[in-house]
Amino acid sequence: MLEMLPFFLIAIIILYAAIRALRAEGLLMSALWLAAVSAAIATMIYMLSANQVAVIELSVGAGLVTILLIFAIGVAGDEPLSDTPVVPRVIAGFFVLACAAIISFAVRPFELIAVEGGISTHGSIFMQGRDIDLLVQVVVIFSGVLGLVGILAEARAPLDYPVAGEVAARRDQELLAMEQRSEHIPASPDSASKETLIPDSPAVDD
């Protein structure tokens, strides 16, 4: 029974951290508690002797994802939304409990696993026998990165006649700079002349 103690401890840590991640007020705290969940899960996976998964979970799940989350929170900003939840809490809780009841009925005496108590430890070679999975992962990463770039891209004008467009853009910039200079040099430009200057500039790029 004593060798179960670390498992109990880790299990309690995981669930506690998950509850804190759910209930934390700020997004940043939530992200940090999520990292704690991830690190604790990595420990548990390590104790189940799946060493490679533990390493990847620790570095990707606890490390990379947390960094990305913090980065995203930094860009998007936190927004305290403490009002009423989307689905009333009671209904959501009841729904989840009902699902859990059905699931635990299905796997009733935990016959899901042929429990022998012991944990096998045998080495494994990275991605051995799963080569096609590895290749499709590359496809997923490609699509994901392209998706990230595509979704975050700033809106920009398309270039139908690209070289001409670039030249026009450069000329626009120079004109704008000249305009600003000419605004600065005369000490008292009356407002009427300014107004005539500005409508002129878009006509240039035709």
Partner 1 sequence: MIISPLTISLLVVCGLTGLGFYGLLVTRNMIKLIMMLQIIVKAAVLGIVIAGQGNGQLNLSQNVAITIIVVDTIVAVVALAFAIQIRRQMGTLDIRELASLRG
Partner 2 sequence: MIAPAFIWMIVIPLLGAPLVYLVGHSGRRFWGDRVSRYAALLVFGATWVAFVRAAQAASMEPTADFTWGGMSLALDGISLLLAFVALLLGTFVASFSGEYITGEAGQEKFYAMLVAIVGVMIGLGCATDLFNIWIWFEAMAVTSYLLVAYYHTRALSLEAGFKYLMQSAAGSVLVLFAIGIVLSQTGTLTLAEIRSQFTAGAPMLLAGVLFLVGYGVKSALVPLHTWLPDAHSQAPSGISAMLSGVVIEAGLVALLRSIAPIAAQMTFWGPLLITCGLLNMIGGNLMAYAQTQVKRMLAYSSITHVGYMLVGLGVTFLLRESSGAQGGLFHLLNHGLMKGLAFLAAGALLYTLHSASGDHKPLMIADLAGGARRYPLAALCLSLALLSLAGLPPFAGFMSKWLIFKAGFASGDPLLWIVVALVALNSVFSLAYYAPVVNLLYRRKPSKVVLEGRPLPWSMVTPLVILSLAIIALGIWPDMIGWMTHSAGEALVAGFHF
Residues in contact with partner 2 by CB under 8 A are: 102-103, 105-108, 111-113, 128-133, 136-137, 139-140, 142-144, 146-147, 149-153, 155-163, 166
Least distance in angstroms from the C-beta of 117 to partner 2? 16
* Cβ count within 10 A of residue 108: 9
Place of tokens 């533990």: 54
Residue 185 interacts, among partner 1, partner 2, none and using kind-specific CB cut-offs from 5 to 8 Å, with none
CA dist., res. 147 & res. 86, Å (int): 28
Tokens standing for residue 127: 């991605």
Least distance in angstroms from the C-beta of 193 to partner 1? 37
Q: Alpha carbon of 63 to those of 26, 43, 82, 197: distances in Å?
A: 19, 14, 28, 54
**Helical residues (DSSP H) of 77-130, grouped into ranges:** 89-106
Least distance in angstroms from the C-beta of 103 to partner 2? 7
Q: Which stretch binds partner 1 (CB under 8 A): 44-52, 172-180, 182-190, 192-200?
A: 44-52
Q: Compare residues 140 and 185 and give the one whose CB is closer to partner 1.
A: 140
Find the binding residues for partner 1 in span 51-80 (CB under 8 A).
52-53, 56-57, 60-61, 64-65, 68-69, 72-73, 75-77, 79
Q: Which stretch binds partner 1 (CB under 8 A): 105-113, 159-167, 185-193, 195-203?
A: 105-113
Closest CA to 45 of 4, 79, 11, 83: 11
Least distance in angstroms from the C-beta of 55 to partner 1? 9
Q: CB under 8 Å to 52, separation ≥6 — which residues?
A: 124, 126
Please report, as a single letter, which amino acid is at residue 118: G
Tokens standing for residue 58: 């620790």
Q: Compare residues 97 and 177 and give the one whose CB is closer to partner 2.
A: 97
Find the binding residues for partner 1 in span 175-204 (CB under 8 A).
none
